[in-house]
Structure 1
Amino acid sequence: MNRTRLLKAGLGLAVAAAAVTATTAAGSPDVTKVRVEKALAPTFANLYVQQSHILGIPGITVAGIDASATCDRAGPKVADVGSGADWICKITFHDDHQKVQTGKFELQIKADSTYVAGGPSKLIGLATITDRSGKDVPNPVFAFDGALNPNG
């Protein structure tokens, strides 16, 4: 083999190795539709129970709320993977009167698989709510942080 062929062969191997390394390092996307939906619904349900406790509404449980989420990233032309401020999720749940409610939540998901979610105040209340003692306190469901399950 002449020197040019050896250099080309070496360069080709280096490019192939880099591609394999990049693919392996990237793995599957950390932020996926399924992971977002599985993380958001229970986080919302736990915070809704907390809100109910603050308001003095008895008997509200995570199981009774039966929250579920359906999420989409930036519409039908964008794959439902990756971090960004363009995730929209509909959360469906049973409120304190056992009535089914659905609200649209906007999510800002970071590359480290954490997120900030905010929902419709008409459905979940304003930024502050009045607790049982008459004191204004932050509404835990108004805007909240969460994280995707690191185990999938």
Structure 2
Amino acid sequence: MRTRLLVRGLVLAAAVAAVAASTAAGTPDITRTRVEQALAPTFANLYVQQAAILGIPGITVSGIDASAACDRGGPKVADVGPGTDWICMVSFNDDNHQLQIGKFEVQIRADSTYVAGGPSKIIGLATITDKKTQQDVPNPVFEFDGTLNPDQP
């Protein structure tokens, strides 16, 4: 009986250690691929929205051709899990059809939601002037939220 209790205790301790180790490594549903596949289309849709506010015609998601290349915490950190140390280089064609590449800082929460902010030099300031109303409004691409798609690899 004591041997069974000891074995159960050891098995339980090993299971707890395995869960702790996998949690420390990051959750498997937050991966570099998922971050890249979520960030680029969200950015593209918001860039089209920004162009509409600014009164710039002809800007489409396909024309922007946005892509993202992301890294978490440098070469010594696995590109998985939540954290405030994700950096994504977003490439896209601007409204003048010029390739732009911007460094976006991304904070990813454990629930697979994120907040991203990019360089104002290429995406504009926090507020922009609405062409129709001449009122200052929030710039949709200055800082934005999104979610990772759990159905993507």
Aligned ranges for residues 55-94 of structure 1 at < 5 Å? 55-94=54-93
Aligned partner of 1:132 in structure 2 is 131
Say how many residue pairs are matched: 150
- Return the offset for 1:82: 0.5
* Aligned position for 2:119: 120
Q: Kindly state the Cα deviation for residue 4 of structure 1 after the two structures are TM-superposed.
A: 3.3
TM norm structure 2: 0.88
2:50 touches 2:139 (CA, 8 Å); kept in 1? yes
Provide the rounded CA distance (Å) in 2 between the counterparts of 1:121 and 1:139: 10
CA distance in 2, matches of 1:128, 1:93: 21
Whether the 8 Å contact between 2:66 and 2:92 is mirrored in structure 1 is: yes
Moved more, 127-136 or 46-55: 127-136
5+ unaligned residues in a row in structure 2: which ranges?
A: none
Confirm or deny that 1:5 pairs with 2:9. Answer: no
Change beyond 3 A, Cα 1:21–1:121: closer
List aligned pairs for 1:11-22, cutoff 5 A. Answer: 11-15=9-13
Equivalent residue, structure 2, for 1:143: 143
**C-alpha distance in structure 1 between counterparts of 2:52 and 2:120, whole Å:** 18
Q: Judge conservation of contact 2:44–2:61 (CA < 8 Å) in 1.
A: yes
The residue matched to 2:125 in structure 1 has which SS? coil
Deviations 1:127-146 (A, max 9, x none): 00011131111100000000
1:15 deviates by: 4.4
1:23-81 Cα deviation digits (max 9, x unpaired):
999x9611100000000000000000000000000000000000000000011010000
Tell me the percent identity.
66
The whole-number CA distance in structure 1 between the counterparts of 2:77 and 2:18 is 25
- Rg bigger for which structure? 1
Report the alpha carbon displacement of residue 6 of structure 1 after superposing the two structures with TM. 3.1
RMSD: 2.4
- Normalising by structure 1, report the TM-score: 0.88
Does the residue aligned with 1:75 lie in a helix, a strand or coil?
Answer: coil
